[in-house]
Structure 1
């Protein structure tokens, strides 16, 4: 009898024991990893229970979807020269003549994320793709030196092909073009977009590819940032992907959204985030042109004090959550939130409750129906608890609204790619702008009021009249909110 036959016979006799030993060993290893690296007690207990009670499959799910930290060597290896320029100056924190009630927020903000607030920026909201895409494409057409673009979804539809053509033409003119697409998000277009870009000679790369021998355990960590920077002169950030659905005037299934056109020194902070992401994805260092001030004209007068807040499951973890908590403490009159998914964790929820208890007006607009039904169920499960504190919640009756805006009082605005849910705040790489400016705040408050006109205030009677099975369903799914 050969050795192979002996081993096969032994395995055939003891296969149950082998599986049991493997399961116990794997579940112990998984449980130890949970205990050492998970911060949330509730999710930790759930993952340990899943690993023990679901042989092998539970542990496999954890290693694929439960790891929400990654060490990004780009943070250490990327040249520090540009970083030092955007970080908190050694001479002290500048308050930029902002109201005194915000001074403590600025001090704490620099501890949370040591990056400067910069003056003389212009932030222009562009409503929906009908307005945003033509401006973005025109900026690419006008590029003379360098274009960088990062997107979660880049559909290869009529809009996507316009961007591919614009980027390819810029490349043909001698402009350096770098495109970074998320490894999962690019799959929405069946990987057609990055293949089309590469076919035209454009340098395109994927952030944490879904199929990777080294990165499979980080499949749940996605780059949700949307960045376009051109020549250091203009940048665009927000929540808008590249997709025909954002062309609200012509889309079959329209999606409302807001993108922000940025001019001013804060562009350097935006491009720095892209450079770090590109280095992490490719190992290649790029030197994007720095912002060069231009003489101001009455039409281009810039007054916004702004800085970038980057967040992700890496060295920047929790920075957006803490920025929101920090700002909510400073609210004196009003808090306005517009988000497609509103499933805050207990800490953020408590901060909102505390603001409402102080007599602050707290208003939240969410879609009547999002693109993910079970998230709607979870949101609805939280409504009654929030309304007890006087928080007013509105459901927008328009097609799915993907806009992400937070406004506090008449001066603070927070815009970018982040949703109010665990996916954004725990697992995604995000980018937001923290802005101080009354004019920008007023413009966005007007947009908020327009959205509210088309929204319906949620009443307790509506929630209480829900059938029992829907209330049970909603609260059952709420238990899984830390994983959604």
Structure 2
């Protein structure tokens, strides 16, 4: 008892010294970690400044939100053996019908992401949940062997309950069903959909639970992928979460979006991404049916050359960024981008400007109002810089447009879950399809044109005339763009 009293008295007398020593030690350790493991100079400097000038709190924020710890863990936990059939051999597939100047992009693509480009796929755009959800639910109801579903948000509303019932009915028919939900995204529905699925016997798992003994340090890293794959015969990917807000014709707060129905051999790559994520979340290796080429209906309807590009804060980091840069280098006539958030880093912005300087038409459609006001302010702060060298930006007047599409010339397209911001490119696990096909590009260009008709062109003079308080607000939030 006397020892405790002496200790308390000593702490009372030297508490300032103790705090200073703790702050200096913690700040030094944290700053050294920043210097050794952070690649971006601006981000590194910002973290060091926060660590030094915000005693303890700055270091705490860094260790919780600033470290990409999964990069090392993923290499140990993700199952590697099953993905071998998706990887390319040393002999590179050649597609003679593609424009010759894209051959170098395909060669570079294999080095960026060593996964096969495969032919004979069909990719069908499904506009908004009004079209996409009925097709997805019907595919689940037709499942015979195995269904896997991954979603960032799975609302337990009238639409979500349709999915829950369809998945539960499939399970009751003897179909193997695996549903993977993000640990943060599931919170949007207060975990109701997860509980409902489990109650009905459906096998679910959470990707990086928000609250766990080991997961709190991963709270900034989310699984943003949207994957539905059935029997190795059909798959769906894109930007749609499971929510009645995507039923544009009936929603109170409608959200425009586009999803894609995929058939063909690239389904194996989509399913493989889910298998890896499931293995990471649960430690279990599931055996999902492979694509059967005999199921192709008419080969002339399956003309898309495609492959999956997966990205995340793990061994796949930066693959989407490099894929975009690689494609922008090959652009000859036009680049068309639809994205809900457009806050590209300096490298991507330079690639877009380089294309514009070559005479390539670069057009970007963003929402007039997104669902995150401060992101709108950051985008507005960047408009003048973006519009240099003739890049045109359009603000879609529709209710929030969540679509994510990139179209280059009449041959290349990039579709999936990725936004043009740091959150997607640095912290989220994402999945996209890189596609070569003139027919698909024609459909996507029609979608772009339709959205453009409902959008207004951003004029540089209007940006110059913004009230000074808005300019200060916008540029203040722009300083935090690497963390949004």
- TM-score, normalised to structure 1's length? 0.98
Listed as ranges, the matches of 1:3-42 within 5 Å are: 3-42=3-42
Secondary structure of the equivalent of 1:71?
helix
Deviation at 1:259, TM superposition (A): 0.6
- Distance in 2 separating the partners of 1:392 and 1:400: 20
Secondary structure of the equivalent of 2:353?
helix
- Distance in 2 separating the partners of 1:352 and 1:432: 20
User: Is contact 1:74-1:277 (8 Å) kept?
Assistant: no
Match of 1:60 in 2: 60
Match of 2:70 in 1: 70
- After superposition, the C-alpha distances for 1:131-188 in whole angstroms (9 at most, x for unaligned) are 1111111111111110100000011111111111111111111111111100011111
Deviation at 1:3, TM superposition (A): 2.1
- Distance in 2 separating the partners of 1:124 and 1:230: 16
- After superposition, the C-alpha distances for 1:334-371 in whole angstroms (9 at most, x for unaligned) are 00000000000000000000000000000000000000
Match of 1:99 in 2: 99
Deviation at 1:96, TM superposition (A): 4.6
Change (3 A) 1:369 1:390: same
- Distance in 2 separating the partners of 1:268 and 1:71: 24
Change (3 A) 1:407 1:190: same
- TM-score, normalised to structure 2's length? 0.98
Deviation at 1:473, TM superposition (A): 1.2
Match of 2:374 in 1: 374
CA RMSD of aligned residues (A): 1.4
Deviation at 1:382, TM superposition (A): 1.1
Match of 1:167 in 2: 167
User: Is contact 1:68-1:426 (8 Å) kept?
Assistant: no
User: Is contact 2:353-2:388 (8 Å) kept?
Assistant: no
- Distance in 2 separating the partners of 1:234 and 1:396: 32
Match of 1:285 in 2: 285
- After superposition, the C-alpha distances for 1:28-49 in whole angstroms (9 at most, x for unaligned) are 1111111111000000000001
- Distance in 1 separating the partners of 2:55 and 2:165: 50
Match of 1:439 in 2: 439
- Distance in 1 separating the partners of 2:446 and 2:76: 42
- Distance in 2 separating the partners of 1:92 and 1:187: 44
User: Is contact 2:152-2:182 (8 Å) kept?
Assistant: yes
Secondary structure of the equivalent of 2:155?
coil
Deviation at 1:80, TM superposition (A): 4.4
Match of 2:261 in 1: 261
Segments of structure 2 that go 5 or more residues without pairing to the other structure are: none
Deviation at 1:301, TM superposition (A): 2.0
Match of 1:314 in 2: 314
Match of 2:238 in 1: 238
Deviation at 1:71, TM superposition (A): 3.0
- Distance in 2 separating the partners of 1:260 and 1:14: 64
User: Is contact 1:67-1:220 (8 Å) kept?
Assistant: no
- Distance in 1 separating the partners of 2:243 and 2:393: 29
Listed as ranges, the matches of 1:214-253 within 5 Å are: 214-253=214-253
Listed as ranges, the matches of 1:376-415 within 5 Å are: 376-415=376-415
Deviation at 1:78, TM superposition (A): 5.1
Segments of structure 1 that go 5 or more residues without pairing to the other structure are: none
Change (3 A) 1:110 1:447: same
- Distance in 2 separating the partners of 1:109 and 1:160: 37
Change (3 A) 1:284 1:73: farther
Secondary structure of the equivalent of 1:306?
strand
Secondary structure of the equivalent of 2:389?
coil
- The number of equivalent residue pairs is 484
User: Is contact 2:180-2:204 (8 Å) kept?
Assistant: yes
Deviation at 1:77, TM superposition (A): 5.5
Listed as ranges, the matches of 1:109-188 within 5 Å are: 109-188=109-188
Change (3 A) 1:290 1:299: closer
- Distance in 2 separating the partners of 1:318 and 1:296: 33
